[in-house]
């Protein structure tokens, strides 16, 4: 009896080992585990029947059964480990990952530069008021930049210190002198170009880059301006004031007021500088209980730009295009985009806009 049981145990070992080694997947091996080692398996049955054997045989049968059980267990584990590794290998090579897809969470795709955003805000406001947006050349003729804007020949704005002059390229007419081509010092030259191109009425703004030999916290050699020009019959300084007020209220809030102070520009007569009431202190110059407003320095007003009624001498340069100084009048204005952006976003140094440090730029997303 004991002899037979021991023989059967080793047969079980042989049969089970063959099946386990031939197993092709982890799930199938779990079934084999139940078949050969489970509660209802033959081996378990033999172990349970040990109590009914002769005492002398119990040790041998029990020992063999337990040894075979352990061996089968080890063979199963080894085969399962082998198959899991192979299964992982296949899934890694078939379920390949597309590393060009965006990661999770998806990174922000960047955004417009604060100067571009401010420029577009101003454009939107002015388009809403019926203005067209024009652009002009950054490399400009002295004629449009100065002469046709009524700058006399000896005007200091023409000085080499203020202006980047450009050597005309090869093939330029011999009479084009060194100082006749320059990087525009303001966007105003487009006033004359626009009037040359179309008769009145004309309502247009010119945003764009301008250049001067300047560099400090509030000036950079390249900066941006917006020029505005309105020409039609019967335009007055009151129209200028109303237009600037409407624009500034859109940019700085509906409670803003505007102030104009007498000034001088060669191409406007009369000329003014215009200020907006401070949006931080509401124009009082004071914050809270008597502290001086640090934005307007306690003045209540913030200086923004220049403006005025178009000087009849400027119309004189475009009389043939339909701008008779006796029948049309107009106003013009100009201001810096950086200054508006600095004020709106509390940026203290204009040069930060052009350092392109993402830590600054990301704050405007």
Interacting residue ranges for ligand DAH, rule: CB under 6 A: 186, 188, 227, 265, 268, 306-308, 332-334
DSSP E strand stretches across the chain: 132-133, 139-141, 181-183, 202-211, 222-232, 258-265, 268-277, 286-287, 291-292, 301-310, 329-336
Give the shortest CB-245-to-ligand DAH separation in angstroms: 16
Query: For residue 37, what is the enclosing H or E element?
Result: helix 26-37
Q: Which residues neighbour 107 within 8 Å (Cβ) at sequence distance 6 or greater?
A: none
**How is residue 132 annotated by DSSP?**
E
What's the CA gap between 310 and 227, in Å, rounded? 13
Question: By three-state DSSP, how is residue 10 classified?
Answer: helix
What's the CA gap between 202 and 126, in Å, rounded? 13
What's the CA gap between 146 and 152, in Å, rounded? 8
Give the shortest CB-307-to-ligand DAH separation in angstroms: 5
- N- to C-terminal Cα separation, the chain: 87
For residue 243, the number of C-alpha atoms closer than 13 Å in the C-beta half-sphere is 26
Pick 300 or 334: Cβ nearer ligand DAH:
334
- Tokens 């709106």: give the residue: 344
Handedness of CA 42, 44, 48, 50 (dihedral sign): positive
Give the shortest CB-334-to-ligand DAH separation in angstroms: 3
Pick 207 or 334: Cβ nearer ligand DAH:
334
Pick 36 or 331: Cβ nearer ligand DAH:
331
Give the shortest CB-254-to-ligand DAH separation in angstroms: 25
Pick 136 or 308: Cβ nearer ligand DAH:
308
- Tokens 């029948």: give the residue: 327
Give the shortest CB-116-to-ligand DAH separation in angstroms: 20
Give the shortest CB-306-to-ligand DAH separation in angstroms: 3
Pairing of strands 258-265, 268-277: antiparallel
Question: By three-state DSSP, how is residue 219 classified?
Answer: strand
Give the shortest CB-174-to-ligand DAH separation in angstroms: 31
Give the shortest CB-332-to-ligand DAH separation in angstroms: 3
Give the shortest CB-220-to-ligand DAH separation in angstroms: 14
Q: Which residues neighbour 178 within 8 Å (Cβ) at sequence distance 6 or greater?
A: 165, 167, 168
Pick 6 or 225: Cβ nearer ligand DAH:
225
Cβ–Cβ < 8 Å for 104, 176: no
What's the CA gap between 189 and 207, in Å, rounded? 12
Give the shortest CB-337-to-ligand DAH separation in angstroms: 12
Looking at the DSSP bridge assignments, the partners of residue 174 are none
Pick 33 or 184: Cβ nearer ligand DAH:
184
Cβ–Cβ < 8 Å for 141, 181: yes
Pick 240 or 293: Cβ nearer ligand DAH:
240
What's the CA gap between 12 and 68, in Å, rounded? 8
């Amino acid at each position: 009896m004991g002899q037979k049981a021991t023989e059967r145990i080793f047969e079980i070992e042989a049969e089970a080992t063959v099946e386990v080694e031939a197993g092709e997947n982890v799930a199938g091996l779990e079934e084999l585990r139940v078949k050969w080692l489970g509660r209802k398996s033959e081996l378990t049955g033999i172990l349970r029947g040990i109590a009914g054997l002769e005492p002398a045989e119990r040790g041998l049968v029990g020992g063999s059964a337990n040894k075979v059980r352990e061996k089968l267990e080890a063979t199963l584990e080894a085969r399962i480990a082998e198959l899991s590794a192979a299964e992982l290998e296949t899934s890694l090579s078939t379920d390949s990952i597309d590393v060009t897809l965006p990661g999770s969470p998806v990174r922000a795709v960047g955004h417009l530069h604060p100067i571009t955003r401010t420029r577009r805000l101003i454009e939107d406001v002015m388009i809403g008021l019926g203005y067209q947006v024009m652009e002009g050349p950054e490399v400009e003729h002295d004629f449009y930049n100065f002469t046709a804007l009524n700058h006399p020949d000896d005007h200091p704005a023409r000085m080499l210190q203020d202006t980047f002059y450009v050597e005309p390229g090869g093939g330029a007419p011999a009479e084009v002198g060194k100082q006749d081509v320059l990087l525009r010092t303001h966007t105003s030259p487009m006033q004359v170009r626009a009037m040359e191109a179309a008769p009145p009425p004309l309502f247009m703004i010119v945003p764009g880059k301008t250049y001067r030999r300047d560099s400090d916290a509030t000036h950079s050699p390249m900066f941006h301006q917006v020029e505005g020009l309105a020409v039609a019959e019967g335009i007055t300084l009151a129209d200028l004031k109303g237009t600037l007020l409407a624009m500034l209220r859109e940019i700085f809030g509906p409670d803003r007021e505007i102030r104009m102070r007498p000034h001088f520009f060669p191409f406007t007569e009369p000329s003014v500088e215009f200020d907006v009431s401070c949006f931080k202190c509401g124009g009082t110059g004071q914050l809270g209980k008597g502290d001086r407003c640090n934005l307007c320095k306690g003045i209540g007003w913030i200086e923004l730009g220049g403006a005025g009624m178009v000087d009849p001498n400027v119309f004189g340069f475009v009389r043939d295009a339909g701008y008779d100084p006796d029948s049309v009048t107009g106003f013009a204005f100009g201001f810096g985009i950086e200054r508006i952006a600095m004020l709106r976003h509390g940026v203290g140094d204009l040069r930060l806009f052009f350092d392109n440090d993402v830590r600054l730029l990301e704050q405007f997303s």
